[in-house]
Structure formats: structure tokens, C-alpha cells
């Protein structure tokens, strides 16, 4: 599903945030990406959805070589990938329904199908009653649920999440993790950068630990592994 080979990323300021990373993530896996601040977790994730371009090496995501992808083709890639951020990134002037439909409508024209798909994912994240609310009328956890619904509405093969519980209290974070695990059980590959030690240690999955731009540990059913 995702394969990185000898990936280097050097930022214009000279920082090497990915120092020869090679890794393979198979379809249906759930992967936590852990490591201290500045380790290169976000860069690892941004390279996958082509927010950043690798300096060298190859990155294949769902049969697409994202390193060779032209900028105009990036939106096409983004429809095969759902991305969830720490700060939700919802459009403030659009309702819950519209935020999600916006992600879909570009490719899906028929209004009845749009409605069916949007309402399906809204129900999946438990927000059926809030479809007509605006983001500022929702709690942080609810906003993140909307962001997840938006990420999965195109039925992507992979969902990538960068610290999705970073702005949420522990109880809310658990609710969000439950949704990610449900999505994973439906067969979607999940790659999640996180600092949430409790979650990584309780819901054991593959753990890729990054430090200094390198993978320092890659373990199935691993624990969080360091004090932060």
C-alpha cells in the first residue's frame, strides 16, 4: 500500500528531516508513528500525501509514485488518501454537511448520491443530529469527527493522521481512536503520528519509532517506548 525507499528530505534551511527512510506498510495495517518532537514524524507523513516533496528516494502510495507526481495531480492523490490533522482544518463558513460534501462534490455530481454518501459518513462518526451545525458550534472532539468523516467520504485506501488527538482531552481522544479502529476494521490502512502514550500502549498495533529522521524501531504490537 505504501512503500518508501531510501527517502531523504532536506529542508531549505539544511535540516535533514528524513535521513534514508525505507519502509513498507501493507493494506489494512494500523501503524502508529512515534518519536520525540522534531524527530521527523510530520515530515514522514507529509511526504506520503505530498505536502512535502522528497529530496531523493521513492515513495509509492496506493500504486502512485508520489515523488514523481506533478503538482496538478496532487488533488487526485488526495482523493485516494484521507488526511486528518491535529487542528481539524474545517472550513468555518460551511456546515458539517457542507464541509464533507465539499470533499466529495468535485468528483461526484449526482445530488442524491452525494447526500447518501455524506449522511452515511456523518452517521458513522455519530453526528447525524449535527449535520446542519457550523464548526464553531461543535466541541473539539465533534470537530475532529467531522474531519474524519471528510477524510473517509471518498472511501480512501489509506487514512493518514498527524496527531489527531493532540488537541483533545483524554476521554474525547479515546472516542476518536475508537472511530479510527472501526475504519481500520473496514479494511482501510491507517498511519497515525501520535504522542498519546496511553493509547499506543493500550491499543497495540505496529509502532514505527522515528528519531533524527531515521526509523529507530519498527515493531508489531509494540509499546510507546520512551518518556516524553
Under the binding rule (CB under 6 A), the answer on residue 170 touching ligand ADP is no
Give residue for cell 493522521: 161
Q: Is 59 exposed, middle or buried (0-12, 13-18, 19+ CB in 10 A)?
A: buried
- Kindly state the smallest distance separating residue 225's Cβ from ligand ADP, in Å: 14
Among 7, 31, 39, 183, binds ligand ADP (CB under 6 A): 39
* x-or-dash string of contact with ligand ADP, 2-31, rule CB under 6 A: ---------x-x-x-x--------------
Contact at 8 Å (CB) between 16 and 9?
yes
C-alpha cell at 178: 475508537
Among 25, 42, 165, 196, binds ligand ADP (CB under 6 A): 42
Radius of gyration of the chain (CA): 17
C-alpha cell at 69: 507526481
Under the binding rule (CB under 6 A), the answer on residue 196 touching ligand ADP is no
Could you give phi then psi for residue 112, rounded to 5 degrees? Answer: -70, -35
Under the binding rule (CB under 6 A), the answer on residue 37 touching ligand ADP is yes
Under the binding rule (CB under 6 A), the answer on residue 35 touching ligand ADP is yes
Stretch binding ligand ADP (CB under 6 A), from 32-40, 70-78, 87-95, 195-203: 32-40
3-state secondary structure of 107: coil
**DSSP E strands, 110-171:** 158-162
Closer to ligand ADP by Cβ: residue 45 or 153: 45
- Kindly state the smallest distance separating residue 47's Cβ from ligand ADP, in Å: 9
Stretch binding ligand ADP (CB under 6 A), from 41-49, 60-68, 107-115, 117-125: 41-49
- Kindly state the smallest distance separating residue 3's Cβ from ligand ADP, in Å: 20
**DSSP E strands, the chain:** 2-10, 16-25, 30-34, 56-61, 64-65, 81-85, 158-162, 189-193, 206-211, 214-219
Q: How many amino acids of this chain bind ligand ADP (CB under 6 A)?
A: 12
Residue 125 DSSP label:
T
Residue 40 DSSP label:
S
Among 7, 41, 84, 190, binds ligand ADP (CB under 6 A): 41
- Kindly state the smallest distance separating residue 205's Cβ from ligand ADP, in Å: 19
Residue 89 to residue 87: CA distance in whole angstroms: 6
User: In sequence order, what are the beta bridge partners of 21?
Assistant: 7
Q: Footprint of ligand ADP on this chain (CB under 6 A)?
A: 11, 13, 15, 17, 35, 37-43
Amino acid at each position: 500500500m505504501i512503500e518508501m525507499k531510501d527517502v531523504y528530505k532536506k529542508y531549505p534551511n539544511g535540516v535533514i528531516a528524513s535521513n534514508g527512510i525505507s519502509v513498507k506498510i501493507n493494506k489494512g495495517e494500523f501503524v502508529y508513528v512515534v518519536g520525540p518532537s522534531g524527530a521527523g514524524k510530520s515530515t514522514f507523513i507529509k511526504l506520503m500525501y505530498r505536502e512535502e516533496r522528497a529530496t531523493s528516494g521513492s515513495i509509492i502510495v496506493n500504486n502512485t509514485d508520489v515523488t514523481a507526481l506533478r503538482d496538478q495531480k496532487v488533488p487526485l492523490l488526495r482523493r485516494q488518501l484521507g488526511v486528518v490533522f491535529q487542528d481539524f482544518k474545517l472550513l468555518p463558513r460551511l456546515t458539517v454537511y457542507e464541509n464533507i460534501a465539499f470533499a466529495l462534490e468535485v468528483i461526484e455530481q449526482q445530488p442524491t448520491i452525494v447526500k447518501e454518501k455524506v449522511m452515511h459518513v456523518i452517521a458513522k462518526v455519530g453526528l447525524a443530529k449535527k449535520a446542519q451545525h457550523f464548526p464553531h458550534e461543535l466541541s473539539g472532539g465533534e470537530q475532529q469527527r467531522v474531519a474524519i468523516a471528510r477524510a473517509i467520504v471518498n472511501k480512501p485506501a489509506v487514512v493518514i493522521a498527524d496527531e489527531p488527538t493532540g488537541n483533545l482531552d483524554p476521554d474525547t481522544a479515546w472516542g476518536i481512536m475508537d472511530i479510527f479502529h472501526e475504519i481500520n476494521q473496514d479494511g482501510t490502512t491507517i498511519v497515525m503520528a501520535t504522542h498519546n502514550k496511553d493509547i499506543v500502549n493500550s491499543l497495540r498495533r505496529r509502532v514505527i519509532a522515528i528519531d533524527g529522521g531515521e526509523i529507530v524501531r519498527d515493531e508489531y504490537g509494540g509499546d510507546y517506548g520512551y518518556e516524553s
